[in-house]
Amino acid sequence: MKEIRRSYCGLCHPRCGTLLHLENGKVVKVTGDPDHPITRGVICERGRLMQDHLYHPQRLNYPFKRVGKKGEGRWQQISWDQALDEVAQNLSELRDKHGAETLTFTHGTKRTYHWDCRRFFNLFGSPNTCGVNTICMCPSYATEFATYGGMIMGSEVPAAKCVVLWGCNASQSSPVGLYPKIVAARKNGAKVIVVDPRRTKEAEKADVWLQIRPGTDLALMLGWIRLIIAEDLYDREFVSQWTVGFEELKEAVEPYTPEKVAEITSVPAGLVTESARMYATNGPAVIPFGLGLDKQGVNSTQCARGRAIIRAITGNLEIPGGEVFSLAGEVGKIRDTGYFELNDMLPESQKAKQLGVDQYPFFGFPGWEKNSAANKRLPEGYMAAPEAWHSNLAHAREVMNAIITGKPYPVTAAITLANNPLLALPNTKRVFEALQALELYVVVDYYMTPSAALADYVFPAASTVETSEIWLTGRFCMACPQGVEPMYERRNSYDFYRGLGMRLGQEEYWPWETIEDVYDHSLEPVGLTFKQLADQYGVFGEMEYRRYEQFGFGTPSGKVELKSSIFEELGADPLPQYREPVWSPVSSPELAEEYPLILITGSRFMPMYHSEQRQIEKARKKIPDPLVSIHPETAENLGLSEGDWAMISTPLGSIRQRVKISDVMHPKMVDIQHSWWFPEREPKLPELFGVFESNANILCPDDPEFCSPEIGSWPHSALLCRVEKEVEGRKSAHK
Ligand SMILES: Nc1nc2c(c(=O)[nH]1)N[C@H]1C(S)=C(S)[C@@H](COP(=O)(O)OP(=O)(O)OC[C@H]3O[C@@H](n4cnc5c(=O)[nH]c(N)nc54)[C@H](O)[C@@H]3O)O[C@H]1N2
Ligand SMILES: Nc1nc2c(c(=O)[nH]1)N[C@H]1C(S)=C(S)[C@@H](COP(=O)(O)OP(=O)(O)OC[C@H]3O[C@@H](n4cnc5c(=O)[nH]c(N)nc54)[C@H](O)[C@@H]3O)O[C@H]1N2
Ligand code: SF4
Ligand SMILES: [Mo]
């Protein structure tokens, strides 16, 4: 029997609408849903792999309990009830012994619901969920809240007259979401500026490409601001009425002449000037989010400030074709993250124990509380809550250290759900040591990953098409309906957290039996059930512009804070100041003799999504091995040819990847792929799926001096390395 069912793809952020083609109950093909009002029938090559993922023989289908030693690969299949009972019992005992802060959580990028996790943790009493948000979007969004009381969720790219891709490679990272919008803007005559050390596909078609030295973007931003002010290209009326701190900003950027910027960034002075003028005179203009800024360590938080300031002084906030952040009409009424997380339920005494807040003043609860208090001046439903980028978010390095040393207090238990800490977090060696030291480690995943292989309990996760979701952005809220019943004993994350919560005295806070019941509650204020939302696809809000004229901005002053009072009160730099990357030919010339090449990691590539798809045959056929991109001249000097295995080293260790000769970047730079492991290898120690062989994060440091002083963002880019031809017997030095 043939059947077509409407569902969605959740294999990356945009949640594209899909049609599942079933034969005798089995999905045989996945296509885009042409009636979906947002994605209109388009899906990418990864989305088409959904059925390979759904039925993959290596999927986890039942809960497992470790029976041998940690990482020995010996497991016993048990029931969900037994697994949840035992985990809850263990957690209860550990909480009695050490306090609730002894439990941590590691998160990855937004895959499943996330608020259910923070709800569970706030109720359990631990302030210590941690993970990749510290370098992904949190530096940008939390900082935008401090600057203009909201986060830019919907740059109106297609209607913009100038699009700046600043550390953003949308053709690879957002083929269905952002990239088509850039193409549309270009067709409509927009100028495109690309700031990227690599000549990406976007750069090839750009009006201006600034081949910046990694890690120096803030100097370029300060140069833009100086020039925009000096040449009177800013929006005088907006600045005088709606900003504070302009005079101080003007003074702070004074040293950043085009010549000085050229010296720091390697971008010729003429291009610094040309690009700043192009941006400032072709409004409305947008600068969408780009991870190239968030992942550069010491400067990342102030880069987010710099970008926010540039958007604001040129009058690009809340205008058609510009940067829009308020929630549109009905969408603002829907109960979302801020409503469900219950951050206020966590006692102050527990919040104070959050790991890392003593070092990074703007991070975690202290930063969130300031942002949240300032935001309260705005009417309810006007702005997405700042929770998701702050609040229950401890610093991963400090969490790992606490697990290993027991200081400042013992962290003995961890849950990982939709994350692969051995591949996603920097300093793999420390993460490995920490995961091994845990008394209780619980992982919920699709597959037995290298991180899961170190667990005490592993739970099988439902694929996105096996569960429902709502996808809420500033402008719309779409239903993402379940397409097929969960197979075997796979379940969604809500069932996992509710199952634990019900066993740990949180019954009254989990009244909704299923995730769709939760969404019925979310949608109550707009008079819909989840089913009705799914029938009509979603809810769209009426877009309004310049609403600050009515309400002001959600900052302490009610204006855009070019000089941030929140940063100042917390003891962080209220005005951006450039810092040289810690490892660089300028700041560490001696180290640069030994490690002469500039290293960037993690540039996105299709069809892989982080550490996923490595077990999917079609994906591996396309990209069978991890690749290091090297300029032809550099490769020749090093005696390397296309396809050779090369050793890449930093002071932290060495890994191996295959050489791809490419002139998209400077001869003094190399680019390595991130998140490589090998599901076909031994699933146990010492090999652990080859996780120590080609994993970029073995090379990335996370010590305090490498991290941004405001948030603690660590670097995955702007580092130094050495590349050599691999010699037999010197393979993979880090075991
Ligand atoms: N295929 C695929 N798509 C993905 C993902 C994936 O893993 N695979 N991950 C998703 C996630 S979680 C995220 S956060 C997004 C990120 O997606 P993007 O924002 O596009 O980020 P990246 O591809 O990491 O890097 C963007 C660009 O930054 C450049 N870059 C590196 N260092 C610097 C620097 O110091 N300065 C500047 N100006 N540029 C620099 C790189 O050359 C790269 O071209 O992608 C999402 N989409
Ligand atoms: N060197 C370097 N490191 C980086 C980056 C970089 O550019 N360079 N980028 C960083 C960034 S921006 C990010 S966001 C992180 C990403 O890091 P993560 O989001 O942790 O990505 P993965 O390592 O792929 O781990 C995700 C795991 O979750 C599982 N999973 C997927 N969907 C679900 C689900 O719905 N439920 C459950 N239970 N499990 C699921 C997958 O099978 C996989 O094992 O990596 C960061 N690490
Ligand atoms: S862009 Fe591709 S992988 Fe991402 S949600 Fe859409 S179809 Fe799925
Ligand atoms: Mo990310």
Q: What is the pLDDT of residue 388?
A: 62
Same domain, 603 and 717: yes
Together in a domain, 413 and 463: yes
The span from the first CA to the last CA of the chain, in angstroms, equals 52
The number of the ligand 1 atom at minimal distance from the alpha carbon of 195 is 38
Same domain, 28 and 49: yes
Q: How many domains does the chain have?
A: 4
Give me the DSSP letters along 490-552.
-B-HHHHHHHHHHHTT-GGG---SSHHHHHHHHHGGGT--HHHHHHT-EEEPPP---THHHH-
Residue pLDDT, tens place only, 131-164: 999 999 888 999 999 999 998 877 789 999 999 9
Residue 706, in any domain of the structure: yes
Evaluate whether residue 687 is within a structural domain.
Answer: yes
- Residue 582 maps to a domain: no
Domain membership of residue 577 (yes or no) is no
Residue 571's pLDDT band (boundaries 50, 70, 90)? very high
In a domain, 473, yes or no: no
Residues 182 and 278 in one domain: yes
Amino acid 340 reads F
Give the pLDDT band (50/70/90) at residue 64: very high
Structure token digits, residue 525: 């204020």
Q: Is the pLDDT of residue 480 over 50?
A: yes
Same-domain status, 354 and 492: yes
Residue closest via CA to ligand 1's atom 16 equals 291
CA of 378 to the centre of ligand 2 (A): 34
Helix (H, G, I), strand (E, B) or coil at 466: helix
Q: Which domain, by its residues, includes 249?
A: 152-324+556-569
Contact 588, 215 (CB under 8 A): no
Ligand 3 nearest atom to the CA of residue 32, by list position = 7
Q: Which atom of ligand 1 is nearest to the CA of 606?
A: 1
146 occurs within a structural domain: no
Q: Do 293 and 347 lie in a common domain?
A: no
Strands 154-155 and 129-131: unpaired
Q: Which secondary structure element, helix H or strand E, spans residue 680, and what is its range?
A: none
Beta partners for 538?
478
pLDDT at position 449 is 98
Q: CATH number of the domain at 288, please.
A: 3.40.228.10
Ligand located closest to 17 CA: 3
Atom of ligand 3 nearest to the CA of 177: 1
Tokens of 646: 């090369």
pLDDT band at 112 (very low <50, low <70, confident <90, very high): confident
Q: Classify strands 457-460 and 64-66 as parallel, antiparallel or unpaired.
A: antiparallel
Q: Among the listed ranges 361-370, 463-472, 525-534, which one has the minimum average pLDDT value? A: 361-370
DSSP string computed for 140-199: HHHHHHHHHSS---EE-GGG-SEEEEES--HHHH-TTTTHHHHHHHHHTT-EEEEE-SS-
In this prediction, residues 201-216 reach a mean pLDDT of: 97
- Both 356 and 424 in a single domain? yes
Contact 675, 655 (CB under 8 A): no
pLDDT greater at residue 474 or residue 107: 107
- β-partners of residue 107 are 131
Q: What is the CATH number of the domain that holds 48?
A: 2.20.25.90
Q: Residues 113, 193: one domain?
A: no
Instruction: Let me know if residue 189 belongs to a domain.
Output: yes
Q: Same domain for 162 and 261?
A: yes
Q: What is the pLDDT of residue 733?
A: 43
d(CA 434, CA 454): 11
Average pLDDT, the chain: 95
Residue located nearest, by CA, to atom 44 of ligand 1: 169
Ligand 3 — pocket residues by CB below 6 A?
9, 11-12, 14-16, 43-44, 46-47, 175-176
Residues 532, 502, single domain; the answer is: yes
The protein residue with its alpha carbon nearest to ligand 1, atom 43, reads 603
